[in-house]
Amino acid sequence: AQKITQTQPGMFVQEKEAVTLDCTYDTSDPSYGLFWYKQPSSGEMIFLIYQGSYDQQNATEGRYSLNFQKARKSANLVISASQLGDSAMYFCAMSGYSGSARQLTFGSGTQLTVLP
């Protein structure tokens, strides 16, 4: 079974500063993917960044980067130069198979608030 743990229910960051959102995972699968999603108050889940378990380099997408430490089973999201529009819920997720279906398992989320 797969498990995703996000230990920070809420985080605050000053505008233009960087922030790290923590995510640890547990799986017995040798091959897996890790994702981060952003959920604004409107409800839609927005895909941000992906990291494969065999990727040698940390993933980056614009202001988002994923600090992947495989031995520690962590996949923290780093947001640089925070903007007010970054205030939202952030979810870490892992892809894997359950039976014949590929699915995402989500963590409980971190509510990020960017302060002006």
Partner 1 sequence: ETGVTQTPRHLVMGMTNKKSLKCEQHLGHNAMYWYKQSAKKPLELMFVYNFKEQTENNSVPSRFSPECPNSSHLFLHLHTLQPEDSALYLCASSQPRVGAMNTEAFFGQGTRLTVV
Which residue ranges make up the site for partner 1 (CB under 8 A)?
4, 31-33, 35, 37, 42-47, 50, 52-53, 91, 95-96, 98-109
Provide the H-helix boundaries in 1-87.
Answer: none
Q: Which amino acid is at 96?
A: G
Supply 70's token pair.
């495989």
Minimum CB separation from partner 1 for residue 86, in Å?
18
The nearer residue to partner 1, 7 or 31, going by C-beta atoms, is 31
Minimum CB separation from partner 1 for residue 44, in Å?
4
The nearer residue to partner 1, 27 or 82, going by C-beta atoms, is 27
The nearer residue to partner 1, 28 or 42, going by C-beta atoms, is 42
- At residue 84, the 3 state secondary structure works out as helix
Backbone angles phi, psi at 16, to 5 degrees: 80, -5
The nearer residue to partner 1, 4 or 77, going by C-beta atoms, is 4
Minimum CB separation from partner 1 for residue 17, in Å?
27
Minimum CB separation from partner 1 for residue 14, in Å?
26
CA angle 3, 51, 57 (to 5 degrees): 130
Q: Please choose, from the candidates 11, 10, 16, the residue with its C-alpha nearest in 3D space to the C-alpha of residue 82.
A: 16
